[in-house]
Structure 1
Amino acid sequence: MISAGEFRNGVTFDMDGNVFQIIEFQHVKPGKGAAFVRTKIRNVISGSVVEKTFNPTDKFPTAFIERKDMQYLYQDGDLYYFMDNETYENIPINADKLGDNFKFVKENTDVKVLSYKGVVFGVEPPFFVELEVTKTDPGFKGDTATNATKPATVETGAEIKVPLFIEEGDRIRIDTRTGEYMERA
Structure 2
Amino acid sequence: MDKFTTVTGVAAPMPLINIDTDMIIPKLFLKTIKRSGLGVNLFDEMRYDDDRNERPEFVLNKPAYRNAEILVAGENFGCGSSREHAPWAIKDFGIKVVIAPSFADIFFNNCFKNGILPIALPQEDVDILMKDAERGANARMTVDLEKQEITTSDGQTVAFEVDAFKKHCLIEGLDDIGQTMSKEASISTFESKAAQERPWV
TM-score (norm 2): 0.22
TM-score (norm 1): 0.23
Please tell me whether Structure 1 or Structure 2 has the larger radius of gyration of its CA atoms: 1
**Which is richer in strand?**
1
**Which is richer in helix?**
2
Instruction: For CA contacts below 8 A with separation 6 or more, give which structure has more relative contact order.
Output: 2
